Amino acid sequence: MGHPENKKQTLYDKLWEDHLVKSRDDGTALIYIDRHLIHEVTSPQAFEGLRLAGRKPWRTDSVVATPDHNVPSDAAERAGGIAGIQDEVSRIQVQTLDENCKDFGIVEFGINDPGQGIVHVIGPETGATLPGMTVVCGDSHTSTHGALGALAHGIGTSEVEHVMATQCLIQKKMKNMLVRVDGELGPGVTAKDVVLAIIGKIGTAGGTGYAIEFGGSAIRSMSMEGRMTICNMAIEAGARAGMVAVDDITLEYVKGKPYAPKGEQWDKAVENWSRLHSDDGAHFDEIVELKAEEIEPQVSWGTSPEMVVPVSAVVPSPADESDATKKAGIERALEYMGLTAGQKITDINLDRVFIGSCTNSRIEDLRAAAAVAKGHKKADSVKQVLVVPGSQSVKAQAEKEGLDKVFIEAGFEWREPSCSMCLAMNADKLGAGEHCASTSNRNFEGRQGYGGRTHLVSPSMAAAAAIAGHFVDVREMQKRTAVSGGEK
Amino acid sequence: MKAFTKHKGVAAPMDRANVDTDLIIPKQFLKSIKRSGFGPNLFDELRYLDEGQPGQDHSKRPVNPDFPLNHPRYQGASVLLARKNFGCGSSREHAPWALDDHGFRAIIAPSFADIFFNNCFKNGLLPIVLEEEIVEQLFQEMYADEGYELEIDLEAQVVIKPNGETHGFEVDEFRKHCLLNGLDDIGLTLEDADDIRAYEAKRREQAPWLFDAVK
C-alpha cells in the first residue's frame, strides 16, 4: 500500500482491512468476526470442544442459531416440535442444538419459532446480517450474505469452535475477482440463470482462492433476493466468498429490519456503509465478463454445477471434449444421470420438482414460481412438487399474498420452512433414478437422495417443468399465456 | 490435534476430478453429533452397493468390488492420490474426519477446494498440491506397482517416491508449524487476546450497532 495509486481498494480489500486485528509475521492474519450463524449439523462437535477445553463463547451476542437441515417440512410432523421429529438421529441433533444454545446463552430461533428458517434466509431478513460485517457459519452457502456488502463465508466445525472461543479466524487474504454482468436480462431470465451461466463459464474451481465481487449493470438493477441467489452460489464456482457493493437497493432492504440500527445509529451506519464498494480503478486479479442479453434460462444436465446449458441446448457429448479427465467426467455424469449425448434438454422428463433451499426460497422466488403455476396443474407424470419457503416469515408473507393457494390449486405441496430436499437430511428425498427439477444449488451424485438425479434451475423454470412434466423454456410458456390472454 | 512430521504409507487412488464432499461422506451420516466413527462411510455411495444408513453394521453390507479402496492391494492405504478440485462443495468437516478415521494421513492432488483444504489442517491430515503431470505420474506408478508407497516429510516439504526421487511442495508456515507440533490453534489465538479486545473496543466505538443487538 506504499504508493497512492495503490490506495484504490476493492470492496473485499476494504472489508478485510476493516476487520484486521493483527497481521502475523508468518503471513497469516487474525480477522475479527461480527456475526456467527449456527445450525444443528456443524455445531455439536464445536460446542463439545469448548466444553472439553473449559472455554466459553467470546461474545454470545454475535451468535444466532436456528435448526434448518434436519427439521421436517411436513406440517403434521413439524407440529410436534423437536419431540415430534420421527427420525431419531435428526431429533437428537436438533435437540442438541437447543440444549447447547441454552447452556451457552445463545439466541436460538427454535424449530417452530416465528423467526426460524434456513440460516441464510433469516440472517438478512432479520437484520442479523448487515452490510460491512464479517459473517461466518459452518455452512458453505454463507456466501449468500455477501449480497449485503458483507464479507461472508463458510467455515468448518473446528473454525466454528475457533470463532466461538476467540471471535476471530486465522486467515490468509484471498485474491480479488470481479464478475461483471452488464446489460439487461431478458424476460424470464433470473438471477439463478445468471449465476448458473457464470459457473458454466468459469467452472467449479474457477473461483478457488478468490473472493468474487459481482458487479455490472445487470447486478446493480437486481433485487436483494436476486443478489443473494448469485452470492449463494459463489461457492459452486469455488469461491468461498461472493459479494455485491452497497447501494440504495441494499439500504432500502436493510432499513427497518428487526436487528438493523435505528435512528441516529442508522444514519451513522449508512454513512459508514456508503464506502462499501470497489474504488474506480481498484485492482482485480481476474475479471470475468458476461453480457446479460446473451444469458438464457439454464438447466444443469450433469453432476457438477458447471455441467449446465441453456434450455434450448442439447446434452453435451464426451466426443467433443479433448481433455481426458473432463471427458471421463462427462461420460460418468451421463451414465449417472441416465441421459444420452445430443438429447434435447426439453426432452428430459421429471419425476419430482423442488422449489426451495437457501438459493431460491425467498418471497420473490415463490412469487416467480406462483406466477407460472397460477391457473395450471402439475403434470400427472410428476409425482410430487414440493414448495418449501425459506423461513417462517417468508411463509407468512406468501400466505398473506395467497401464493400458498396458487400452489395447492396447481397440485403442488406447501411445506414448512427447512432445507428439505436440497440435501435430503429430512424426510424429503428423491428415489433412485428419479429426475428432479430443483431450485437448489448442488447436483452432486446422491445429493437429493441415493441415486437421485438433480437438474438445477430457477424457480420459474421449475414451476414450468412441473406443469409440462419435462423441461420447457419458461419464456415460451409466458408468451403463450400472454397471447391467449390467460392468467397473469 | 495429532502431529504430522513424517509419514510413509501405501498410496490408493480416487481417480476422478471434482470429488465433492457429498461423495466423500453422504449427508445422512452428518446427523452424528460426534467427531469420530465416519471411516466406514467414507465414499459410502461408491464403496457399497446399497444405500447406507447411520447406525448400521457396515461390515454386513454388500461392497462394490469395482471400487479401488475395496481392492486387497489398497487395504491399509494411508496416502490418497486424487485429481483436480478435490473436496469441492460443502464445508462439512465430516469429510476430513471420514478420511482420517479411515486411516488416511495425506492427500495428494493437483488442486483442492478452499474450505476442505483448510479443514484438513485442523485435523492432522495433510493436503499436498503437486503439479498435474507429477500427480499423473504418481497415479501411473501406483497402478503399475502393487504396494506402491509414498513417504512424506513435512519438515523438508517433500514427497519421496520408492525410487528415492523427491517432489517438493508448498505449505503455509503457520499451518506447517501447527501440524508439526500438533498445536491447537485456539490456544495460539488466545495468546493474542489483548489485541482482540483492543480491536473490539475500537470497533464498538465506530460501529456500535454491531454489538448487543441480538440478545
Beta strands in A138-217, from DSSP E residues, in sequence order: 151-154, 168-171, 175-182, 210-215
The structure's pTM equals 0.97
Identify all chain B residues contacting A318, using CB atoms and an 8 Å cutoff: none
**How does pLDDT run across A66-104, given as a tens digit for each residue?**
999 999 999 999 999 999 999 999 999 999 999 999 999
A487 or B10, which is more confident? Answer: B10
Is the pLDDT assigned to residue A363 strictly greater than 90?
Answer: yes
**How does pLDDT run across A407-428, given as a tens digit for each residue?**
999 999 999 999 999 999 999 9
Percent of chain B with pLDDT over 90: 97
User: What would the grid cell of residue A3 be?
Assistant: 504508493
User: In angstroms, what CA-CA distances link A93 with A403, A435, B90?
Assistant: 32, 30, 18
SS3 content of chain B, % helix, strand, coil (to 5): 40, 20, 40
Is the pLDDT assigned to residue A480 strictly greater than 80?
Answer: no
**Vertex A330: Cα angle to A189 and A379 (nearest 5):** 50
Identify all chain A residues contacting B85, using CB atoms and an 8 Å cutoff: 204-205, 208, 238
**How does pLDDT run across A311-337, given as a tens digit for each residue?**
999 999 999 999 988 999 999 999 999
Is the pLDDT assigned to residue A484 strictly greater than 90?
Answer: no
Q: Report the C-alpha gap between A470 and A467 in whole angstroms.
A: 8
Sequence-separated (6 or more) residues with CB below 8 Å from residue B66: none
User: How many CB pairs lie under 8 A apart between chains A and B?
Assistant: 206
Contact B174 A325 (CB under 8 A): no
Is the pLDDT assigned to residue A486 strictly greater than 50?
Answer: no
According to the model, what pLDDT value does residue A477 have? Answer: 85
**DSSP class of B86:** B
**How does pLDDT run across B161-211, given as a tens digit for each residue?**
999 999 999 999 999 999 999 998 999 999 999 999 999 999 999 999 999
How would residue A483 be classed by pLDDT, with cut points 50, 70 and 90?
low
Contact A162 B189 (CB under 8 A): yes
**How does pLDDT run across A135-179, given as a tens digit for each residue?**
999 999 999 999 999 999 999 999 999 999 999 999 999 999 999
**Cβ distance A349 to A135 under 8 Å?**
no
The closest CB to that of A61, out of B30, B35, B212, belongs to B212
Q: What is the mean pLDDT of chain A?
A: 96
Mutate: best of B15, B21, B31, B136, partner A, most A CBs <10 A: B31
Instruction: For A141, name the nearest residue in chain B, comparing CA atoms only.
Output: B90
* Mean pLDDT of the region A343-369: 98
Is the pLDDT assigned to residue A1 strictly greater than 80?
Answer: no
- Name the burial class of residue A21, with classes exposed (0-12), middle (13-18) and buried (19+) by CB atoms within 10 angstroms of its CB: buried
Is the pLDDT assigned to residue A283 strictly greater than 80?
Answer: yes
Half-sphere exposure of B84 (CA within 13 A, CB side): 15
**How does pLDDT run across A212-271, given as a tens digit for each residue?**
999 999 999 999 999 999 999 999 999 999 999 999 999 999 999 999 999 999 999 999
Listed by number, the residues of chain A in 359-418 with a beta carbon closer than 8 Å to a beta carbon of chain B are none
Instruction: For B124, name the nearest residue in chain A, comparing CA atoms only.
Output: A158
Is the pLDDT assigned to residue A488 strictly greater than 60?
Answer: no
**Cβ distance A35 to A135 under 8 Å?**
yes
* Mean pLDDT of the region A51-55: 96
According to the model, what pLDDT value does residue A329 have? Answer: 95
Sequence-separated (6 or more) residues with CB below 8 Å from residue B31: A41, A70, A87, A89, A90, A92, A93, A425, B54
How would residue A6 be classed by pLDDT, with cut points 50, 70 and 90?
low
Identify all chain B residues contacting A239, using CB atoms and an 8 Å cutoff: 114
Residues pairing with B108 in the sheet: B81, B128
Q: What is the mean pLDDT of chain B?
A: 97
Strand-pair category, A384-387 with A352-355 = parallel
| Cα of B90 to nearest chain A Cα, Å | 5
Contact B91 A132 (CB under 8 A): no
Is the pLDDT assigned to residue A26 strictly greater than 90?
Answer: no
Mutate: best of B24, B51, B115, B184, partner A, most A CBs <10 A: B115
Instruction: For B208, name the nearest residue in chain A, comparing CA atoms only.
Output: A265
Is the pLDDT assigned to residue B63 strictly greater than 50?
Answer: yes
Is the pLDDT assigned to residue A396 strictly greater than 70?
Answer: yes
**How does pLDDT run across A185-227, given as a tens digit for each residue?**
999 999 999 999 999 999 999 999 999 999 999 999 999 999 9
Contact A162 B22 (CB under 8 A): no
**How does pLDDT run across B105-153, given as a tens digit for each residue?**
999 999 999 999 999 999 999 999 999 999 999 999 999 999 999 999 9
Mutate: best of B30, B64, B186, partner A, most A CBs <10 A: B186
How would residue B215 be classed by pLDDT, with cut points 50, 70 and 90?
confident
Q: Where would I find the H helices in A152-221? A: 157-166, 191-202, 217-220
User: In angstroms, what CA-CA distances link B120 with A72, B91, B126, B134?
Assistant: 32, 11, 6, 22
